[in-house]
Amino acid sequence: MKILLLNPNTTRAVTDLLYSAGTKVISPGTELVAATAERGVPYIATRAEAQIGGAIALEMLAAADSSVDAAIIAAFGDPGLFGARELFDIPVVGLAEAAMLTACMLGRRFSIVTFARALAPWYQECVTMHGLDARCAGIRTLDGTFESISNVQAEKEDMLVSLANRAVEQDDADVVILSGAPLAGLADKVRDRIPVPVVDPTAAAVRQAETLVTLKPRKAITGTFRRPDPKPTIGLAKALAAVIEHRRSSDAKGGSL
């Protein structure tokens, strides 16, 4: 199977981290195809940036067309996830949802640990969006700044481990999620320094995507994620316009990944 690993921000070094973490857990025969947004922000940290990233994610998914079997929106707040599930027939997985649902199978309550305070409000709304408030022990963030988004996990590793341990000791977390695309791969490096299971969102999302492809779910024709009726568009990316208008993607000439 072929899975699209879609980074809706513009930092290619973060895509490289995501790809490295994902390829460590893929099954034989699975191909992971990485893509980085060509416009937007270096990393998504606010509600407004998430709205922008969600729209870009839909464009990137439309460009992939039928060339992949599943897709992962590789930003922890899952920008554009629900819209993608409306529009596209393939399974679409979000980092946050995959990580949290995996954590729910490993313990009663999970804590989200991340590298920047600005992320907390968006992440809290993401927990609520997925209906998991009762399972979340809390969101802990580091204070202060960092030098580089692509090197933040190396720069802040010890502080993040300390923060995770405080979540276990003070919040009674049974599981820790090291969240944010720039932290991809960190869980595997520090798992022995934290006394509860540590979830890497990228690894969880890749394995969840593989599972959904294997299960071959049909596209909903009724309910929340049925495909919306066609409507005309103006000024959208050609591939995305074709999806919304129910035209063949080949008619759009919008390219593919």
> Could you say which of 3.40.50.360, 3.40.50.12500, 1.20.1440.230, 3.40.630.10 is the CATH number of the domain covering 97-200?
3.40.50.12500
Is the pLDDT reported for residue 141 higher than 80?
A: yes
What integer best gives the mean pLDDT of the chain? Answer: 94
Average pLDDT of the segment spanning 109-134: 96
pLDDT for the residue numbered 146: 85
Q: Which own/partner contact pairs does 154-157 have at CB distance under 8 Å and 24+ positions apart?
A: 156/115, 157/186, 157/189, 157/190
pLDDT for the residue numbered 65: 74
Residue linked to tokens 């593989």: 210
How far apart CA 68 and CA 65 sit, in angstroms, is 7
Q: What is the pLDDT of residues 154-198, one digit of tens each?
A: 999 999 999 999 999 999 999 999 999 999 999 999 999 999 999
Question: Residue ranges per domain, the chain?
Answer: 2-95+206-252, 97-200
pLDDT for the residue numbered 254: 44
pLDDT for the residue numbered 242: 95
Is the pLDDT reported for residue 35 higher than 60?
A: yes
pLDDT for the residue numbered 256: 44
Domain 2-95+206-252 identical in fold to domain 97-200 = yes
- The whole model's pTM is what? 0.93
Q: What is the pLDDT of residues 209-252, one digit of tens each?
A: 999 999 999 998 999 999 999 999 999 999 999 999 999 755 54
> Could you say which of 3.40.190.10, 3.40.50.1100, 3.40.30.10, 3.40.50.12500 is the CATH number of the domain covering 2-95+206-252?
3.40.50.12500
pLDDT for the residue numbered 23: 97
Is the pLDDT reported for residue 145 higher than 90?
A: no
pLDDT for the residue numbered 147: 84
